[in-house]
Amino acid sequence: MTAIIHLPGIGNSGKTHWQSHWENTDPSIRRFQPASWDEPDLSDWIAALEEAVRAAPTPPVLVAHSLACLLVAHWHDVSDLPVKGAMLVSVPDPASPAFPSQAAGFAEVPGKRFRFPSLIVASTDDPYGSLPYAERRAEQWGSELKVIGAAGHINGESELREWPEGLALLGNFASRL
């Protein structure tokens, strides 16, 4: 069985977010736990991800949303712990006017190709990251790119609820690892 670690973005993923729905359906999914969801500190988030990966029974699949997508790139740059792959949903652009100021420490995003397979899931109308930005990151990181149409920031406000299409994307991705 593949271990899955959820990596929510700034503010955590609330009750209406697809990550929370997936965890309610599958209690084996673990959520990493940084010290603060609202005042993200890059070193703390990297340490929390390192701890979560180390604690996983097998190399996990990371499922990141928003700011946590940038976290994966930063973590990859400093860690050699094994992961099976990463699904990166709604990669935010630090140059976007919508990028939260309290996340400025994440802004210098490493562009090094990932050592593990990755899938970027992007929306055509994400206020935090344009499709060209997602395409550029996919090319840099060596990620597959799946564009799902107009779904905003692919979060609770997108009203995706359980987001079965996303779960199918994860299942398909994980089955190829």
Q: Which SS3 state, helix, strand or coil, does residue 145 take?
A: strand
Mean pLDDT, the chain, whole residue set: 95
Output the pLDDT for position 102: 95
Count of Cβ atoms closer than 10 Å to residue 91 Cβ: 30
In angstroms, rounded to a whole number, what is the distance separating the alpha carbons of residues 76 and 26? 26
Instruction: Read off the pLDDT of residues 79-135 as tens digits, 9 standing for 90 and up.
Output: 999 999 999 999 999 999 999 999 999 999 999 999 999 999 999 999 999 999 999
Output the pLDDT for position 22: 92
Which sequence spans correspond to the domains of the chain?
Answer: 4-175
Q: Which of 147, 118, 152 shows the shortest CA–CA distance to 132?
A: 147
Output the pLDDT for position 160: 79
Second-level CATH architecture of 4-175: 3-Layer(aba) Sandwich (3.40)
pLDDT for residue 65 is more than 80: yes
Q: Residues with Cβ < 8 Å from 137, sequence gap 6 or more?
A: 91, 109, 111, 120, 143
Output the pLDDT for position 157: 74
In angstroms, rounded to a whole number, what is the distance separating the alpha carbons of residues 119 and 133? 14
User: In terms of pLDDT, which residue wins out, 61 or 14?
Assistant: 61
In angstroms, rounded to a whole number, what is the distance separating the alpha carbons of residues 173 and 85? 9
